[in-house]
Structure 1
Amino acid sequence: MFDIEIPAPHGAKSLLGIGRALGAAGVSLEGGGMWSGSAHYLIADPDTALRALEEAGLGPAHVRPVILADLDADVPGALGRMMAALVDAGITLHVQYSDHDNRKVLVVDDAEHARAALGQH
């Protein structure tokens, strides 16, 4: 899975264009949202998404691989413990949001070490 970052300087108007372009191309958004003029979405097919956005005149878009991490959402402190593991391992976190399966989507500088820090194989 991948995170795609797309400029969204005009809020709902930007998301309208993004949603239409990706939807018409058959790209499913599996999580994400928009913050401070930048949209981030979890996608499986980055090539199709990039092509659709380019054809629609939207972008520039950037794609990065992600780590999907289970989080005990009903357990107080779970996010803090997850972030402590990343900090203790010296991992830089660039983006964090949730997917439709209640997992944390993490865009980091070193996926291999982040997976090890989080106990993933």
Structure 2
Amino acid sequence: MILIECYCGSTKHFQVCCEPIIKGIQKATTADSLMRSRYSAYVLHQAGYLVATTHISTRKHHSKKDILEWAASNRWQNLEVLNTTKDTVEFKAYYLDSNGVNHIHHELSTFIFENGNWFYVDGEFF
């Protein structure tokens, strides 16, 4: 097995960082670990995981088709986590769009811990 650095920018290998969470082998233990796994899921076009980890109260606003189209139409460059609290994560996700133009997705995401699982609720964009 070839070990690769995790897409989320941690110092861990993907195989022991985000991959077990995305595959359902492990649960995200914090809002930060869920957000990082969701970023990796965007890189890997894992729209099913992104829908499943969105809280039921806001899931209707996020279609699997739209998520997949947006994830696949961009080349994800890196993730910068700026600040975390128990239930929020502020981050910048750097990506190139389909025309090769650089963009920064700057968001303060809100998460909720419910029934033993972390879920993405919504985000404030800067």
TM band (smaller chain): under 0.3
Q: Which has the higher contact order (CA 8 A, sep 6+)?
A: 1
| TM-score normalised by structure 1 residue count | 0.26
Q: Which has the larger radius of gyration?
A: 1
